[in-house]
């Protein structure tokens, strides 16, 4: 290989490395710029494990904030914290029950703020497979001048939203961006979905389950679908009260499933099944005394308390999948809530181990 070819290859490698470094630097600058336009919102909550925080987007230099309509806004002491730690009490202006969005206003002294442009004519649109960034106060990590969290992923689909929370269906049924990033966990509602150039693509929605698959959705409402509604709220054309604390959604318990564990006497008491209520979901699914529960809905279970806590995260209208160890074998069972009844009869614990389980 000639010296000229070697020099050419060296130049190409250097150019590639320089381009990669430049792209990484540009992405960092883009993220920092977007973070200045996402705010942290603190309000009502703290009851029944309801988070008292969420995210919002600055959409005007005068301090208009677009966010998710939720119980968090149902307070007279609604705090909004900017990226630099400045904190103001926000005024609730309007909301739209169809898109589940709300509009807040910071005090008059909050002027010339960095903000997103929600003009429908210039709104960026994403396509399936496009790389995106989701920025929000995920899990309430950012409390002062800390930057909001950033997740990267792709748009996996653009499809109508068919979702619910417990027995309550989402009012919004139009198209959303479905994401492969875990972008809709506590605190993320109202956050920003942007492309890698920092253009706003949508606003992150609330925590909802798919009516089709039953899984939690990661999605965002597209700017092109909500821009006209936001304009109407800015003009004062839409106005309704904030959403109050939602009705408590019952969750599963060992009792509701007809499952009794051995007494919880030490810090990590193993989650062994002690007895089953006759005719209960647990018995009809095939569980037996002396089964050791090791997974619930795919989550590892290492103690009595871990099992109780995991069941408390599952709404009582949803089935529960349990994996147990029985005679050295891992078996999986699905407990269907509709199978449970109010019978108080018990299946007593056997005197000897069941060496030949029935199928």
- Residue 51 has a pLDDT of 84
As to burial, measured by CB atoms within 10 angstroms (0-12 exposed, 13-18 middle, 19+ buried), residue 111 is exposed
- Residue 241 has a pLDDT of 60
DSSP 3-state of 295: strand
Distance of alpha carbon 357 from alpha carbon 359, whole angstroms: 6
CB 281 within 8 Å of CB 339:
yes
Which CATH topology does 259-347 take? Pdz3 Domain (2.30.42)
181-204: average pLDDT: 93
**Maximum separation of any 2 CA atoms in the chain, in Å:** 88
> In the structure, what pLDDT confidence band is assigned to residue 175 with cuts at 50, 70 and 90?
very high
Residue range 105-152, pLDDT digits in tens: 999 887 789 999 887 667 889 999 999 999 999 998 888 889 999 999
> In the structure, what pLDDT confidence band is assigned to residue 16 with cuts at 50, 70 and 90?
low
Domain 30-234 has CATH 2.40.10.120: yes
Distance of alpha carbon 73 from alpha carbon 93, whole angstroms: 11
- Residue 351 has a pLDDT of 45
pTM of the model: 0.66
- Residue 276 has a pLDDT of 94
CB 296 within 8 Å of CB 254:
no
Would you state the structure tokens that stand for residue 9, as one six-digit string? 């290859």
Q: How many CB atoms lie within 10 A of CB 192?
A: 27
Contacts of 80 (CB under 8 A, 6+ apart): 39, 40, 41, 42, 56, 65, 87, 88, 89, 90, 104, 106
Distance of alpha carbon 3 from alpha carbon 345, whole angstroms: 88
Sorted by where each begins, the domain ranges of the chain are 30-234, 259-347
Element (H, E) at 331: strand 329-335
Q: Is the pLDDT of residue 352 over 60?
A: no
Q: Quick one: residue 55, left, alpha or beta (phi over 0 = left, psi -120 to 50 = alpha)? A: beta
Q: Is the pLDDT of residue 322 over 80?
A: yes
Tell me which range, 15-24, 67-76, 238-247, 349-358, is most confidently predicted by mean pLDDT.
Answer: 67-76
First to last CA, the chain: 70
């Amino acid at each position: 290989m000639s010296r000229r070819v070697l020099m050419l290859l060296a130049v190409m490698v250097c150019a590639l490395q320089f381009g990669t470094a430049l792209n990484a630097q540009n992405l960092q600058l883009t993220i920092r710029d977007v973070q200045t336009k996402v705010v942290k919102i603190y309000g009502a909550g703290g009851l029944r494990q309801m988070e008292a925080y969420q995210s919002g987007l600055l959409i005007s230099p005068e301090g208009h904030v677009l966010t998710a309509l939720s119980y968090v806004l149902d307070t007279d002491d609604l705090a909004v914290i900017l990226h630099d730690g400045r904190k103001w009490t926000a005024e609730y202006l309007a909301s739209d029950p169809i898109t589940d969005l709300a509009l807040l206003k910071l005090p008059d002294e909050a002027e010339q703020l960095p903000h997103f442009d929600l003009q429908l004519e210039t709104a960026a649109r994403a396509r399936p497979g496009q790389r995106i960034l989701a920025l929000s106060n995920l899990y309430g990590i950012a409390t002062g001048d800390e930057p909001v969290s950033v997740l990267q992923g792709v748009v996996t689909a653009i499809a109508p939203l068919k979702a619910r929370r417990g027995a309550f269906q989402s009012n919004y049924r139009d198209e959303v961006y479905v994401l492969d990033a875990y972008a809709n966990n506590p605190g993320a509602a109202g956050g920003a979905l942007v492309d890698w150039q920092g253009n706003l693509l949508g606003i992150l929605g609330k925590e909802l389950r798919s009516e089709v698959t039953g899984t939690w959705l990661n999605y965002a409402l597209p700017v092109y679908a909500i821009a006209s509604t936001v304009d109407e709220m800015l003009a004062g054309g839409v106005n309704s009260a904030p959403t109050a604390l939602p009705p408590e959604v019952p969750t599963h318990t060992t009792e509701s499933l007809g499952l009794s564990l051995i007494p919880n006497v030490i810090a990590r008491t193993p989650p062994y099944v002690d007895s089953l209520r006759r005719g209960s979901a647990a018995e009809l699914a095939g569980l037996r005394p002396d089964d050791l529960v090791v997974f619930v809905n795919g989550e590892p279970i290492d103690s009595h308390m871990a099992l109780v806590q995991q069941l408390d995260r599952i709404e009582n209208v949803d089935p529960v999948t349990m994996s147990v160890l029985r005679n050295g074998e891992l078996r999986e069972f699905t407990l269907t809530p509709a199978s449970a009844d109010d019978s108080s009869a018990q299946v007593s614990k056997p005197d000897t181990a069941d060496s030949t389980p029935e199928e």
